[in-house]
Amino acid sequence: MAKKTNKDSSESKKIEDLKKDHWEMKDTTMTTNQGLKVNDTNNSLKSGERGSTLLEDFLLREKISHFDHERIPERIVHARGSAAHGYFELSKDMSEFTKAGIFTDTNRRTPVFVRFSTVAGSKGSPDLARDVRGFAVKFYTEEGTWDLVGNNMPIFFIQDAMKFPDLIHSVKPEPNKEIPQAASAHDTFYDFVSLTTETLHNHIWAMSDRAIPRSLRMMEGFGIHTFRLINDKNESHFVKFHWKPKLGVHSVTWEEAVKINGADADFHRRDLWDAIEAGQFPEWELGLQIVPEADEHKFEFDLLDPTKLIPEEMVPVTIVGKMVLNRNPENFFAETEQVAFLPGHIVPGIDFSNDPLLQGRLFSYRDTQLSRLGTPNFHQIPINQPIVPIHNNQRDGQMQASIPKGQTAYFPNSLSGGCPHLAKMSEGAFHSYEERIDAKKIRTRSESFSDHFSQPALFYRSLAPWEQEHVAGAYTFELGKCMHDHIKERMLWLIAQIDEDLAQKVADGLGMKVPNNIQKPINQAIGADADPKKHEPGPKKNYLDASPALSQSNTKFDSIATRQVAVLLADGFDAKSFKAMKAMLEKEGAMAKLIAPHGGTVKDSDKNEHKVDAAIMTTESVLFDALYIPDGKTSVDALLKQAKFIKFVNETFKYCKAIAADGEGERLLKASFVKDHMKDKAVHVNEKPEAFKKSMAQHRNWDRRSITDSVPV
């Protein structure tokens, strides 16, 4: 049993640990890396005022040479990321299932560092790519570091680690022309997907709104694989990990995503940073789905197959604690770039399952850090150091940053009194779960992994009509970007195995027919001598009509906290109506952002000055959640003079967001597409701020979507 700890001191342990490595600019004098004081960092040493630069100039050489080596290789996947510090706090003692201190000690706050990422794009790619999001959590526990390296979707594209390079090579830019960047909409990806039917479940999730989150703070996270929990009697239960965001799961539309990428390529990164700086700390609950070992074979799918989820309606998610992110990193490179997550970092009480994807990951992550960070000593980088001391006989290597003392570096020894000595399990040592194994050594895929259509169909059936339309739109867009008809036909045939109506909609959009006697794209994830019939995905099964937990229409709609409201105004806007709206927004934790014809300040009707957050030419409506136009004749007259304000209104309406106007503000609505839709339930003219709040909390008014195609923006 882990020792009980004090909440506040345990939370700050990693922060204190990192402080040892901080340094400040304040009150410092410039020096070289050797501590020599520098008196000119602007001019190189020359032979005469206009003469050649001297090789002797060690100040120039040190500065330029360091700069020359400032970059390290970007991550081969998940290169684009943003991270934050915080803590995890347990609310429910889970010692019945696990001996892990993090799940048994409700007095503890475990420090965490969390990195979110897109998968396919390069480090500088835009945030709103249609992609899976990485959701990697490093828990600095009292028993050593535990990394839960997950994604924002509960399943993965492939079943065996052996396929990972193929998957990633197919989605990355095509190797001859290095196009397209951060996009799956191209031939090689669909060539691979259509020949590898196990990808279809994760693929349909990637076509859903989950792949274009409104915010990193508004997405779920999943450990994906089935893991094990081990209690102090050494009993094992299977477990899946779920992160549930406090603000609910919300997304933008694809058209918005495309525009956001142009207007603010750092949209998600900025949103995470700003929320934390504003004290609006992102928060998730951690839930566990626990399955007793005895129930392993009770499901229609294999628990070891990472392309399958366990519907929450079949095994409920037990909430055991919460995670809060309350501090931005001090330095992007030192922390966010150099952090190294390894699924192989576990602690006593948690263990692996035989999921063949997880097993391969246990190798890959350490391997990749060796070339990315350049040394086996990457655990010594401050962000990667555990909060507990390390003692072993590993020595040397590039960038050894500690100075191990003493004569010995081997075990057993007597010269150092046998130290570091071994720990017993009763002292908290790790001991692998003693799983019984009696099997042939064999290179194959289990036949229990062969059902590839049932869960994509369950997912699609569980979505609300507006979500289904977005999925159809996404397939149509992506396949529309492919050049080869035979690839599109194979995809249409496969989509029809998931849902015929969906396939028909996509085919209509592509101007093609759903093929019915195509040569079946047999599952090719088998060896050359294997019997394809044994691995062919059978027709979809229906073991659950719908799983409401999969639909974003069943998420939380109870808050407008952290939502960004564009307030369109100019000099002379009405102080009273603005004040009432602003008071409501502030009370609810939403942000009013003033957008005016120019930067600087604007004056209200009482001659008070207000700081403008953005001049209209520097911003776009897609960066906001809702729109408000206060009363005031001169203000609205000024807005009407710039067509971009009308575009702003049209676009806000098109993407189904809430709109409010007071008094003269109505004139701007009447000058826009909204004029014929003033009765829309999320358009509020001269109503109480509370009404606007209710519409905003709904995230979008999807009832509007039948008319939005005709909005001309």
Applying CB under 6 A, the span of 361-369, 400-408, 444-452, 608-616 interacting with ligand HDE comes to 361-369
CB-nearest residue to ligand HDE? 134
Question: Is 151 an annotated catalytic residue?
Answer: yes
One DSSP character per residue, 655-681 reads TT-EEEE-GGGHHHHHTSGGGGGTT-T
Query: Which residue's CB is nearer to ligand HDE, number 149 or number 622?
Result: 149
* Separation between Cα atoms, residue 224 and residue 149, nearest integer Å: 9
Contact between 139 and ligand HDE per CB under 6 A = no
Given candidates 149, 612, 629, 649, which one binds ligand HDE under the rule CB under 6 A? 149
- At closest approach, how far in Å is the CB of 114 from ligand HDE? 9
- Complex with ligand HDE: residue 202 or 577, whichever CB lies closer: 202
Say if residues 524 and 195 touch (Cβ distance below 8 Å): yes
CB-nearer residue toward ligand HDE: 308 or 693: 308
Which is closer to ligand HDE, CB of 136 or CB of 550?
136
Q: Using CA atoms, how far apart are residues 385 and 394, in angstroms rounded to an integer?
A: 15
Please tell me the distance from the alpha carbon of residue 239 to that of residue 287, in angstroms, as a whole number. Answer: 10
Least distance to ligand HDE from the beta carbon of 368, Å? Answer: 4
Query: Is 475 annotated as a binding-site member?
Result: no
Stretch binding ligand HDE (CB under 6 A), from 146-154, 295-303, 452-460, 497-505: 146-154
Nearest to 204 by CA among 157, 134, 152: 157
Nearest to 131 by CA among 102, 171, 99: 171
Q: How far apart are CA 311 and CA 315, in angstroms?
A: 7
Q: How far is the CB of 344 from ligand HDE (least distance, A)?
A: 11
Separation between Cα atoms, residue 509 and residue 399, nearest integer Å = 56
Burial of 590 (0-12, 13-18, 19+ CB in 10 A): buried
Query: Which among 597, 673, 678 is positioned nearest to 635, based on CA atoms?
Result: 597
| Non-local CB neighbours of 375 within 8 Å, separated by 6+ positions | 397, 398, 399
Instruction: Report the C-alpha gap between 296 and 162 in whole angstroms.
Output: 25
Residues whose CB falls within 8 Å of the CB of residue 353, separated by 6 or more in sequence, listed in order: 225, 226, 227, 228, 238, 303, 304
Beta strands in 556-643, from DSSP E residues, in sequence order: 564-568, 591-596, 601-603, 609-611, 614-615, 626-629
Residue among 383 and 668 whose Cβ is closer to ligand HDE: 383
What is the distance between the alpha carbons of residues 281 and 646, in angstroms, rounded to a whole number?
A: 34
The reply to whether 361 sits in an annotated binding site is: yes
Q: Is 361 in the site for ligand HDE (CB under 6 A)?
A: yes
- What residues from 67 to 126 belong to the interface with ligand HDE (CB under 6 A)? 75-78, 81, 115, 117
CB-nearer residue toward ligand HDE: 125 or 635: 125
Residue ranges of alpha helices (H) inside 214-337 are 254-263, 267-277
CA 66 to chain centre: 32
User: Within positions 503 to 532, which residues make up the interface with ligand HDE, using CB under 6 A?
Assistant: none
Sole binder of ligand HDE in the list 87, 113, 139, 164 (CB under 6 A): 164
Range 558-584 burial, b when 16+ CB lie within 10 A, else e: ebbebbbbbbbbbbbbbbebbeebbeb
Does 78 participate in catalysis according to the annotation?
A: yes
Q: Which of 277, 213, 267, 274 minimizes the C-alpha distance to 245?
A: 213
What's the min distance (Å) between Cβ of 151 and ligand HDE? Answer: 4
* Shortest distance, position 371 Cβ to ligand HDE, whole Å: 10
The reply to whether 164 sits in an annotated binding site is yes
Print burial letters for 35-68: b (CB count within 10 Å at least 16), e (below 16): eeeeeeeeeeeeeeeeeeeeeeeebbeebeeeee
Whether cis (ω within 30° of 0) applies to the bond prior to 111 is: no
Rounded to a whole number of angstroms, the minimum distance from the CB of residue 249 to ligand HDE is 17
The residue among 362 and 544 lying less far from ligand HDE, judged by its C-beta, is 362
User: Which residue number, 284 or 628, has a Cβ lying nearer to ligand HDE?
Assistant: 284
Whether 75 has a binding-site annotation, put simply, is yes
The minimum distance between CB 192 and ligand HDE, in angstroms, equals: 15
**Which of the residues 43, 85, 151, 484 is marked catalytic?**
151
Among 10, 118, 151, 353, binds ligand HDE (CB under 6 A): 151
Among 357, 479, 674, 682, binds ligand HDE (CB under 6 A): 357
Contact positions with ligand HDE (CB under 6 A) in 206-265: 224
Which of 150, 456, 630, 632 forms a contact with ligand HDE (CB under 6 A)?
Answer: 150
Total of chain residues touching ligand HDE, rule CB under 6 A: 25
**Distance of CA 290 to CAs 303, 409, 470, Å?**
11, 42, 33
Closest contact distance (angstroms) between CB of 72 and ligand HDE is 12
Q: Which is nearer to ligand HDE, 336 or 552 (CB)?
A: 336
Q: Check residue 564 for interaction with ligand HDE (CB under 6 A).
A: no
The secondary structure element, H or E, covering residue 192 is helix 187-195
Residue 614 near ligand HDE by CB under 6 A: no
Least Å from the CB of residue 132 to ligand HDE: 8
Cα 270 to Cα 60: distance, rounded to the nearest angstrom: 35
**Of residues 368-407, which lie at the interface with ligand HDE (CB under 6 A)?**
368-369
Could you say whether residue 341 binds ligand HDE (CB under 6 A)?
Answer: yes
Indicate the annotated binding residues: 75, 115, 164, 361, 365, 372
Binding residues for heme: 75, 115, 164, 361, 365, 372
Binding site for ligand HDE (CB under 6 A): 75-78, 81, 115, 117, 134, 136, 149-151, 156, 161, 164, 224, 340-341, 357, 360-361, 364-365, 368-369
Residues tagged active-site: 78, 151
